[in-house]
Structure 1
Amino acid sequence: MSNQATENDKNKDLNIEALTSDIAYRIVDKINKQSDKTKLRNLIDKSLGVLANNGVYAYYVYIISQKSNEATTLFLDEMKDIFNIIGNYDTSNRENYFQHISQDLHKLLFLKQLLEKTLIYARYHAKALGD
């Protein structure tokens, strides 16, 4: 069986809308448990801006440049299910994943759409909860 067939079987029952909204909920839920909620909520907007204006790799670099375990956990590790739709995401080798994914324009643009949707949902969810 080819890799393409295996990948299609794995994703055929995947509900992307449910996945993105669930991840957005988990991100906001974890932010609300942190001591510095405002900074992390602002990071949703800032990372969305970087992603929209500069792309997926810039998003990755921006998140790791925060030098914050919370940022990495929330905006990379929580997104692992999305990253795994596109390719094998390994938290121990993130750099390689983001460089590799940039070689396939279709996958890259699809990943960007999924990340944007998730961050937009997270932003609205955070605003709905208020302070």
Structure 2
Amino acid sequence: MHNLDRLAAQYAQAIVQSGDQQIETTVTKALGVLQEHGVYACFLYLLAKEKDNGKKVVVPAMLDLLDKLDFGWSKPHNDQPATILQHISDTVTADLERLLLAKEILEQMLIYARYGAKAQSKE
């Protein structure tokens, strides 16, 4: 059994540490899409609109976090947007209860990353 809050915090820290100064904006927008439209839409947004921080920083952290949930989802076999979106569609969205848990934990991670980035920018 994993401490989900701890996992969310760890991956949020990884996002903040590896992102650039615009990471707060990227995370804030991704959080809004996740809350309004769901997990698949959040990945789609990050891959389509936030190519630098989204594709290189936030999406890998999100995939790593989902892999840590031990649902047998693993990770996509490459980092191509079509492969990632197919993976999310085929695995993460297939079971409603697990999808809702995934959405909740990703939301928590993005909230932590947002505030972490905000705190870092004030240093």
How does the TM-score come out when normalised to structure 2? 0.83
Q: What is aligned with 1:88?
A: 74
Q: How does 1:58-97 map to 2 (within 5 A)?
A: 58-66=41-49, 68-84=51-67, 85=69, 86=71, 87-92=73-78, 93-97=83-87
Letter in 2 for 1:111: A
Counting matched residue pairs gives 114
Q: 1:57 aligns with which of 31, 36, 40?
A: 40
The structure showing larger relative contact order (alpha-carbon pairs under 8 Å, at least 6 residues apart) is: 2
- Mean Cα displacement is larger for which, 40-49 or 91-100? 91-100
Encode CA deviations 1:29-67: one digit per residue, 9 max, x unaligned: 112xx3xx13x3201110000000000010011011126
State whether residues 102 and 108 of structure 1, in contact with CA within 8 Å, keep that contact through their aligned partners in structure 2.
yes
Q: What is aligned with 2:25?
A: 42
| The structure with more radius of gyration | 1
2:94 partner SS = coil
Tell me how far apart the structure 2 counterparts of residues 45 and 91 of structure 1 sit (CA, whole Å). 28
- Please list every run of at least 4 consecutive aligned residues from structure 1 whose deviation after the TM superposition is greater than 6 angstroms: none
Deviation of 1:73 after TM superposition, in Å, equals 2.0
Tell me how far apart the structure 1 counterparts of residues 120 and 66 of structure 2 sit (CA, whole Å). 27
Tell me how far apart the structure 2 counterparts of residues 91 and 123 of structure 1 sit (CA, whole Å). 28
State whether residues 83 and 111 of structure 1, in contact with CA within 8 Å, keep that contact through their aligned partners in structure 2.
yes
What fraction of aligned residue pairs are identical, expressed as a percent?
29
